[in-house]
A and B are shown apart, each in its own frame.
Chain A
Amino acid sequence: MPYNIAMVSDFFFPQSGGIESHIYQLSSKLIDRGHKVIIITHAYKGRTGVRYLTNGLKIYHVPFFVIYRETTFPTVFSFFPIFRNIVIREQIEIVHGHASLSSFCGEAILHARTMGLRTVFTDHSLFGFADAASILTNKLLKFTLSDVDHAICVSHTCKENTVLRASLDPLMVSVIPNAVVAENFRPLSYTPSPFDQIPTSPLRTHGYPGHPLGTDLLIAAIPRILALNPNTRFIIAGSGPKAIDLEQMLERNVLQDKVEMLGSVRHEEVRDVMVRGHIYLHPSLTEAFGTVIVEAASCGLYVVCTRVGGIPEVLPQHMTTFAKPEEDDLVVATSKAIAALRSNKVRTDRFHDQVKMMYSWRDVAERTERVYQGITGEISSEEFYGYYPGQGWEASGDRVRSFALIDRLKRYYGCGVWAGKLFCLCVVIDFLIYVFLEMWFPRANIDIARSWPKKQPAEKSRPPTSARSIR
């Protein structure tokens, strides 16, 4: 059964980044599978109104006040009227929010639940529990996720993190990884080169505020790696506040001829940079999934990365060398990787095909579709959530979330001593606004938008439930 799905996030093109491309790829693959998908984001400079992308993907750029790094100002209620209008126009059944830092996403999930729609949330990032910013973000996430029907995380580490942050039932959180468009990350045909080249992109233009990247590690490690392996060259892509430190390091050690700094590289050019090297060094300090290392492996690069966050889950061992986030270990791991490449122990020429088998957006779309089926009740809740006799935690909670206001209030009330009451107040006001809107702007007065003419779904032959149903 095709669904009408609205993806909501602050982050979308023309801004580029992992979340943006995730939303786009997932949406277009879902459209391929016969669903109707629209995207709701805020207006970007030079990008306003309603737009269509390839395949009839419709984008609503809602005018909104942006405070910081393309994140809208969290006003809780002011988004509701226009959101309701869009949802009714497009006959949306499922609202799918992305990224926990996006206030658009949180508000949309709240309003959608008030309107009686099913909601899904995808978390793309990891958060700690220690600092004040994290505490605030986690409280907001709890507010968002208290009433969500299902959450999706990009890695198992991310799932653990989200379950802890939002106090969710773990069975209500699915793990669906990111993917890469393998066709865009093809390796070059093999050309022997006298040097080992190490492209690395520790400095990215887009990132959350305070998102730590291991540039310090890189600054410390590069001179030592070069001293140990004189025939090595580095290519560094990306820009950021630490770029100046990196340049200073180069000048201090006179390494300009061995290290090439490219500045920020556009996403479509990443492949061209990557195929120039043999090893991809990724000294990140935290990462939920690390799409870029999959892209690197797809380009046929051997990957050296730090063992942090969800990175150890992403690639098989024969494609990667892991290092601790320590300078010494990073140097050792990189030298080991160079030695392994030199001795031809690593068959990097096979990586592309292997990665192509591991990750594809079509797979992601299929698995997401199963989530949609689970929350709309097309798959019975028992089959979707499973039951585990003797494990004692199947009875906990209402996984099929009812829309009754009193049930919703109960869920919000449990969020905290003060926060629970505040959240309940918000929900009640939201409900009153909804009633008000229904009276003053009745549904009958809102036109129904015509859908984009559908292609025939590509593969009707394979019913989507067959492969992933286990029993």
Chain B
Amino acid sequence: MTPPPSSPSSIPPPIPVDTHPNRAPGSKAPEQDRIPDPDRLAPEDAYFATSLSRARSAPANYEDSLRSINDGSRVATLRAPRGMLGADPSRKDVTKLGAAGGRRRRKGAWKKLLWVKQTYPDNYTDTETFLDHLQRNPRVRPYDFWPLVADSTVIVQHVCSVVIFVCCFVGIVQDRVSPVSIVCWGSVGTAMGWILWDNWIWREQAELAQGAQVAIGGDDGSSLSSMASVANPSGNEPQPNGTKGSPIHGLGLTMSGNESKEQLSQRTAEFNGSLDEIGDPALPVGAPSTASSIALGSTDAQDNERRSLLTSRNRQRLSTVKSAFLIYFSLLGLSPILKSLTKSTASDSIWAMSCWLLIMNIFSFDYGSGEGAGATTKFPASLSTNAAVMASTVLASRLPSTTHVFSLMLFSMEVFGLFPIFRRQLRQKSWTGHVVLTLVLVIIAGGAVGTTLGGGWASAIIGSMLGSILTAFSMGGCSWWLISLQKYKNVVIGPWDPARPIIRRHWN
């Protein structure tokens, strides 16, 4: 029980007491008897969800920083400070009208503070301030149909490549297709993809180096800081390309060790290349004397640069070829072991197991672009690749000869290990290429399914047409479904949520 209101506070508050800790002090009006404003959040909104649909927008104080403002109409935010309402003279009349019963007039406005002894009962709910910091769906970004469909191509691509792999396996098992032809086609495709990829990387690095050169030349090397800032991107930029492959790089479990080794070596080679580039005297980082010399003879440097880049690329290519041969031969050596690996297991279990493993692969695959930091942290991308390699291993053990096993394993490496890297790179490089690849994959997958089920060219064509139509419909349907589900989104954010601390890491 508080002391009687005649002696409201024995504590001398030296600072004017504000009615709400988050609100501007001073202006307060005794208007707790106001009639409810339909634009405001009333306490019953808390438990009548339907009444929350009113749109409102209002100036915000410190929440501004918390809210990445997009459509203000969806945001139920802070109300206008009470001072604004108190200043409104017409409000006074309302107050008088509402306070017909004089005994309802209270000694002071209710304050959202705990340390003040108030004359209100403990369960008093102030319609004015109750839930006034509540925000609903503050960070919702409405989806658009076509971008969503475009984004779903990534999933379609992966599912298609899994389907193609399965169809190839079925073909091999049923002796319709020779495994050697499959692996030859696959290897040819991989080689082409690699050449393309290598070309991109090289061009990118050359461009970056050139950019750095131009900047250095223009800068006269007078200020080291600006130069370092220019040189830095060229040092850092190739890294993302390296980390593109990093999900795959994590696939170092028993069977997949070889593959990962190749990836790793490829990656390290590339990284070394970029390191060489940084360490090269042509691109000085933090060496003012060389910087000035470069600035003087920039054409020389450019030539130097180009040459060194070339040699580093060649070195890298060599190492890639080397690791490709390594993996080729180790797979060749392992094939007899793999062939008899699950002899004692019934075929039924193998089908079920590989089925689950492939489903796992599809669901845990890293569909992100690999740009955000959070893209790879949530799911270990190695899980996906490991599941796929495991699936192909158990499937390969059903095959009759070592050649079959070797071909299927190599093919699975290409499909599950290398192809995703290429697809990701392609998506970043050229959107048309990405779409074309998706189309080709869908058609091939549909055709493969058709051939597997029916056999013959006619069924392949029917299968690919049906597959394309079905894929298009499911892409559109799923996107539309996701958009229509958005209306159930109800994110409630308030002062009770743990704050996200904003920290600048300034050491290291």
Contact = CB atoms under 8 A, between A and B. Distances in A.
B266 to A, nearest CB: 35
Interface residues of A, number: 83
A145 to B, nearest CB: 11
Interface of A: 126-130, 150, 152, 155-158, 160-161, 163-164, 167-177, 212, 214, 216-217, 220, 223-224, 252-253, 283, 285-286, 288-289, 306-310, 312-318, 324-328, 354, 357-359, 363, 366-367, 370-371, 384-386, 389-393, 396, 462, 464-468, 470-471
A128 B1 contact: no
Interface string B493-508: 1111111111111110
Nearest to A172: B123
A171 B1 contact: no
Contacts of A386: 121, 123-124
Contacts of B22: 307, 312
B62 interface: yes
A163 B47 contact: yes
B76 to A, nearest CB: 13
B491 A371 contact: no
B268 to A, nearest CB: 29
Nearest to B120: A470
Q: How large is the interface on B (under 10, 10 to 19, 20 to 34, 35 or more residues)?
A: 35 or more
Contact of A467 (B2, B98, B503): B2
Interface in B232-251: none
A217 B127 CA distance: 35
Contacts of B112: 156, 313
A127 B496 CA distance: 6
Contacts of B192: none
B43 A252 contact: no
B343 interface: no
A217 B499 CA distance: 11
Contact of A385 (B21, B46, B123, B504): B123
Contacts of A370: 1, 121-122
B62 A307 contact: yes
A18 B122 CA distance: 21
A128 to B, nearest CB: 5
Q: Which 5 A-B pairs have the closest CB atoms?
A: A467-B1, A312-B21, A174-B122, A126-B496, A325-B499
B1 A468 contact: yes
Contact of A390 (B10, B35, B124): B35
A170 B122 contact: no
Interface stretch (B12-20, B77-85, B257-265, B286-294): B12-20
A470 B492 CA distance: 35
B115 interface: yes
B344 interface: no
A212 B117 CA distance: 31
A372 B172 CA distance: 78
A175 B498 contact: no
Given A307-B62, A324-B62, A128 B21 contact: no
Contacts of B119: 470
A171 B15 CA distance: 31
B487 interface: no
A327 B496 contact: no
Nearest to A218: B501
B494 to A, nearest CB: 7
A169 to B, nearest CB: 7
B32 to A, nearest CB: 9
Given A160-B496, A252-B507, A327-B504, 11 more contacts: A129-B492, A156-B112, A164-B492, A164-B494, A168-B47, A306-B499, A357-B10, A359-B115, A370-B122, A384-B123, A386-B121
Interface in B470-508: 491-507
A170 B505 CA distance: 43
Given A129-B492, A367-B1, A468-B121, A308 B42 contact: no
A307 B501 CA distance: 11
A315 B116 CA distance: 9
Contacts of A363: 1-2
Contacts of A176: 122
B371 interface: no
B44 interface: yes
Nearest to A368: B122
A240 B122 CA distance: 36
Contacts of B121: 174, 370, 384, 386, 468, 470
Contacts of B15: 316-318
12 contacts: A126-B496, A128-B496, A155-B114, A168-B47, A214-B499, A220-B505, A316-B17, A324-B62, A327-B503, A354-B11, A393-B43, A467-B3
A289 B44 CA distance: 24
B177 interface: no
A397 to B, nearest CB: 9
Interface in B116-173: 117, 119-125, 127, 130-131, 133-134
A353 to B, nearest CB: 8
Contacts of B101: 389
A68 to B, nearest CB: 20
B106 A470 contact: yes
A324 B134 CA distance: 18
B139 to A, nearest CB: 11
A173 B123 contact: yes
Given A129-B492, A324-B62, A313 B499 contact: no
B4 interface: yes
A160 B112 CA distance: 12
Contacts of B432: none
A224 B503 CA distance: 12
Contacts of A129: 491-493
Contact of B36 (A328, A391, A462, A464): A391
A313 B113 contact: yes
B65 interface: yes
Given A164-B131, A171-B125, A358-B11, A313 B498 contact: no
Contacts of B502: 324-328
A317 B495 CA distance: 19
A367 B117 CA distance: 12
Nearest to A152: B122
B103 interface: yes
Contact of A160 (B9, B106, B131, B507): B131
Nearest to B124: A386
Interface string B304-341: 00000000000000000000000000000000000000
Nearest to B490: A129
A238 B344 CA distance: 58
B15 to A, nearest CB: 5
A310 to B, nearest CB: 8
B497 A128 contact: yes
A327 to B, nearest CB: 5
Contacts of A391: 35-36, 42, 127
Nearest to A223: B507
Contacts of B497: 126, 128, 130, 286
B115 A316 contact: yes
Interface in B63-99: 65, 98
A176 B124 CA distance: 11
Nearest to A294: B115
A318 B25 CA distance: 13
Contacts of A163: 43, 46-47, 131
Nearest to B22: A312
Nearest to B112: A156
Interface string B383-409: 000000000000000000000000000
Given A160-B134, A167-B47, A327 B498 contact: no
Contacts of B131: 160, 163-164
Contacts of A324: 62, 65, 502
Nearest to B20: A312
A313 B496 contact: no
A314 B122 contact: no
